[in-house]
Structure 1
Amino acid sequence: MNDLLIFNHIELILAATTAGLFIIQLLYYLVTYARPLRQAKRRQMEAGQAKPAVSVIVYAKNESENLRKHLPALLNQNYPEYEIIVVNDGSTDESDEVLKTFKNEYDHLYHTYIPEDVKYLSRKKLALTVGIKAAKYDILLFTEANCEPMGKNWVSAMARNYTSKTSIILGFCAYGPHKGFFHKLVAYDNLMTGLQYISSALTGNPYTGNGRNLSYRKDLFFAHKGYYKSLSLHAGDDDLFINESATKDNTWVEYSPDSITEMAKIDRFSMWKEMKVSRAATQRYYKGWNLTFFRTESISYFLFFIAVITSIVLGILGNWLISILAGLLYTIRFSCKAAILHKSAKLLQQKPVTGWLFLLELILPLFNLYVRIYRIFRGKNDYTFRL
């Protein structure tokens, strides 16, 4: 029995490395990823009661079916003064007819059309700029035609925290509960990305946002010359603009149940892949250390996983206590992460994918690495999704 407590130098180094990586992983989840959970109740108590007039801007391109399905939820919000502006980006389907039908019933709906043959570096940025210029109110609230608020108080929840100092409100867009491993991967990626930018914003380090649920002032948009700094990129209308303009003092993050939107099902893997490639293309222009911080978490996980496997194999061949300790550390770390992500998903109105977590946490970082390499070799003019 005493021999089990005797370790050689290799076993000691491996045990120390595994334990060190275990602590790093635990800190990431207990401190960083659990932050939205810890602060949720306090944020609700601190929520404001403002009701400024709001212009909701909806981007749509060949989204006639989604407009039929999701636009009523936007048009029937419990809010005293708001308008809906749908920017129809050269749609060739029945979008225009759908919008005209809704317009006959709702006076606060407006829509504008970007001709299909208009040439511009980024059609989406042009479309959003047109919508912003058409907005009557200073408070702008953005979403897309394939998204829907999860309640009638979405506008109220997103706008209530505007003060004289607040210029940006970051929101969260959940991914719906769909069957199949691909949709579990999309949901996991969406949850992790959301927790990352929400947690960073809670510490006073906002670095990105999601255009499917995002608000800022019209004055801020023009003060930063709109999308001037990212005109050479097809994407970046949401994340890069927020990265450039968000500060500790001018940004609030809102993730109460009423504030959350939900996006429709992504039908094809190729579409999601192009969305990821598009985001990878803009991420290299981010300022700050946030991306490096979260990528370090993925690296430390893989190092920890390798250390655990090595320890188990070495323990089987030698001192089996090493195997037991490695397995115990992995179990504790996995259970901790699973519990935090499960509760966080429910907090953010998204169905948990806890049962798939073992595979998801292995596959997603590898896929993200593939996306970054793929983007590099695709060339400057071919890496973004033609939204």
Structure 2
Amino acid sequence: MDLLQFHWNGAWTAFLIFCIVTIIQLLYYWGIFSRLAFYRKKTREQNQQHPVSVIICARDEAANLARNLPGVLFQQYPTTHELVVVNHNSQDDTRFLLEEFRKTFKSLEIVNLEQEAKGIPGKKYPLSIGIREANHEIVLLTDADCVPASEFWIHRMQDAYENGVDIVLGYSPYHKKPGLLNKLIRFETFHTGMQYLSFALAGMPYMGVGRNLSYKRQLFLANKGFSNINHLPGGDDDLFIHKVARGNNTRIVIDPEAFTLSEPKQKFGDWLRQKNRHYSTGKYYSTRFKWMLGAYSFTQFIYYPALLFSLFLFDWKLTLAVFGLRFLSQAYVSYQCMKKLEEKDLWPWWWMLDIWMFFYYCIFAPAIWKKPRQSWV
């Protein structure tokens, strides 16, 4: 009798945990992510074109610059703009390549740095120099391995600025290529984008991605740039935005013409090192966002184990009914978000990619407490 009672209590406990996890997931999907899924850009009676300084930091990026820089230089933007490329102690042909571009494109400004900044790992030092050297109030950031998705990138990104707006968050997907790794990389990028763009629409911006990010130069200077995170290898995009972004000073742009495209890693090990470096900054988020993002990630991580326990220990019909509620909600909201971010080709695979996220968290969770590499990129 005692054994039967124990089994019954355990079964109900498993089902209750599964229900709680499902409810939390539904709250995120319908309360937060649906904001991106059903987002409609507000029509404005009057648009203004602002002077813009595009900034790219490069270190031994001659091959990427040769491939991607024309996409920035040939932007269709009639208002005053410039491209500032900070060449940070490159040992390849970056300097000579930039000088050749400069002969044709007078809007290209080159800043050559030939020394390291002691105690400032990563690219915060060259980026700080680039922002200080910029001639215009609005700075638009991208990387040397990125190319604008259209010749209207500058125009679309700056169009979000209006009175009171200091930050514009963009989206930067990866090129679509065959293979499983490409789908994993692109789904993780979409999943991250869905989160930070949706939270921004909910009035709770917490990060941006330096491959496609814009803010005002005065905002950077007034907050003393990266002074409080100079000792960290990363954080020049997400931690700075985490510090200065507010619900009323941040906007998003998800027009496909405003995307920047990046070349995905070809080997799983390379991607692993890249993501470990990116996730190492999460521990420096505010307590509020640690809890909010942590609750989502944790419930997503334990969702499928909780499902299995409930299926085998409790009534499988009730368990599948609860599962179906989350499955349909997630399928619908994810599809709408994928449409917005031009990732619809991933949707037929989303349920497998969602299961993959359990293993993804197992692989990358150590990055939260592990000491990051002191690398430039």
Given the two structures, how large is their TM-score scaled by the length of structure 2?
A: 0.89
Which of 333-342 and 87-96 deviates more?
Answer: 333-342
For residues 101 and 350 of structure 2, what CA distance do their matches in structure 1 show?
42
How many residue pairs get matched?
370
**1:58 and 2:56 correspond:** yes
The answer as to whether partners of 1:51 and 1:156 remain within 8 angstroms in 2 is yes
| 2:284 counterpart SS class | coil
> 8 Å contact 2:206–2:241 — kept in the other structure?
yes
Gaps of at least 5 residues in structure 1 are: 1-6, 316-321
Partners of 2:148 and 2:86 lie apart in 1 by 18
Question: Do residues 354 (structure 1) and 344 (structure 2) align?
Answer: no
How far off its partner does 1:214 sit?
A: 0.6
Deviations 1:273-324 (A, max 9, x none): 2332222222211125234223212322344323321232236xxxxxx213
In structure 2, how many angstroms separate the alpha carbons of the residues matched to 1:342 and 1:352?
10
| 1:175 match: secondary structure | coil
CA 1:47–1:232: 2 relative to 1, 3 Å: farther
- Taking a change above 3 Å as real, the CA distance of residues 180 and 292 of structure 1, as seen in their structure-2 partners, is farther
- Between stretches 173-182 and 110-119, larger displacement belongs to 110-119
Q: What is the aligned partner in structure 2 of residue 339 from structure 1?
A: 332
Name the aligned partner's letter for residue 33 of structure 2.
Y
One-letter amino acid of the counterpart of residue 82, structure 1 = H
CA 1:176–1:105 in 2, change beyond 3 Å: closer, same or farther?
same
CA distance in 1, matches of 2:10, 2:122: 58
Provide the C-alpha distance between the structure 1 equivalents of 2:132 and 2:243, rounded to a whole number of angstroms. Answer: 20
Distance in 2, Cα, partners of 1:59 & 1:118: 15
The aligned residue for residue 284 of structure 1 is: 283
Kindly report which structure 2 residues correspond to 1:16-55, keeping only aligned pairs within 5 A, or say none.
16-39=16-39, 41=40, 43-46=41-44, 49-55=47-53
For the Cα contact (< 8 Å) 1:206–1:247, is it kept in 2? yes
Q: CA deviation at 1:202?
A: 0.8
1:111 & 1:372 partners in 2: Cα distance? 39
- Structure 1 CA distance for aligned equivalents of residues 61 and 261 of structure 2: 16
1:4-39 deviations in Å (ceiling 9; x for gaps): xxx965555544443343333223222322211212
* Alpha-carbon distance in 2 for matches of 1:57, 1:173: 16
Query: What pairs with 1:115-154 in structure 2 (closer than 5 Å)?
Result: 115=114, 119-154=118-153
Q: Is the CA contact (8 Å cut-off) linking 2:304 and 2:355 kept in structure 1?
A: no
- Distance change (3 Å), C-alpha of 1:343 and 1:228: same
Look up the match of 2:209.
210
* Contact 2:117 2:125 survives alignment (8 Å): no
Measure how far apart 1:116 and its partner are. Answer: 5.7
Q: Distance in 1 between matches of 2:332 and 2:309?
A: 26
Structure 2 contact 25–326 (Cα < 8 Å) conserved: yes
TM-score normalised by L of structure 1: 0.87
1:254 deviates by 1.7
Asked whether the 8 Å contact 1:36–1:344 carries over to 2, the reply is yes
The 3 A distance-change label for structure 1 pair 287 and 46 is farther
Larger mean Cα displacement after TM superposition, 24-33 or 238-247: 24-33
Task: Work out the CA distance in 2 between the residues paired with 1:327 and 1:47.
Answer: 49
Structure 1 residue 225: Cα displacement: 0.8
Please report how far the alpha carbon of residue 58 of structure 1 lies from its aligned counterpart in structure 2 after TM superposition: 1.0
Q: Which residue of 1 is the match for residue 247 of structure 2?
A: 248
Does structure 1 residue 304 correspond to structure 2 residue 294? Answer: no
Q: Post-superposition shift, 1:61?
A: 1.9
One-letter code of the match for 1:77? Q
Partners of 2:348 and 2:46 in 1: CA distance: 37
* Corresponding letter in the other structure for 1:150: A
After superposition, give the CA deviation of every residue in 1:140-179 in whole Å (9 maximum; x if it has no partner): 0000011111112111111112233111111111122122
Aligned to 1:226: 225
Write the distance in 1 (CA, Å) between the matches of 2:246 and 2:290: 16
Unaligned runs of 5+ in 2: 1-6
| 1:85–1:112 contact (8 Å) kept in structure 2 | yes
RMSD of aligned C-alpha atoms? Answer: 2.4
What percentage of aligned pairs have identical amino acids? 29
Cα separation, 2, equivalents of 1:31 and 1:107: 48
Distance 2:302 2:368 in 1: 25
Shift in CA distance, 172/237, structure 1 to aligned 2, threshold 3 Å: same
- Tell me how far apart the structure 1 counterparts of residues 179 and 286 of structure 2 sit (CA, whole Å): 36
CA distance in 2, matches of 1:338, 1:48: 37
The alignment partner of 2:110 has SS state of strand
What whole-Å deviation, never above 9, does each CA across 1:355-375 have from its counterpart, x for those lacking one? 433443233344345434256
Amino acid at match of 1:360: L
8 A Cα contact 1:173 1:263, kept in partner:
yes
Q: Please name the residue that 1:77 is paired with.
A: 75
Taking a change above 3 Å as real, the CA distance of residues 352 and 341 of structure 1, as seen in their structure-2 partners, is: farther
Letter in 1 for 2:364: V
Deviates more, 1:347-356 or 1:143-152: 347-356
- Once residues 146 and 66 of structure 1 are traced to their aligned partners in structure 2, the CA distance between those partners, rounded to angstroms, is 5
Shift of 1:231: 1.0
Q: 2:356 aligns with which of 359, 363, 380?
A: 363
Identify which range, 111-120 or 225-234, moves more after superposition.
111-120
Task: Tell me the distance in 2 between the aligned counterparts of 1:290 and 1:376.
Answer: 17
Aligned AA for 2:235?
A: G
Q: How does 1:186-197 map to 2 (within 5 A)?
A: 186-197=185-196
Paired position in structure 2 for 1:260: 259
Residue 318 (structure 1) aligns with: none
**Cα distance in 2 for residues equivalent to 1:164 and 1:26:** 35
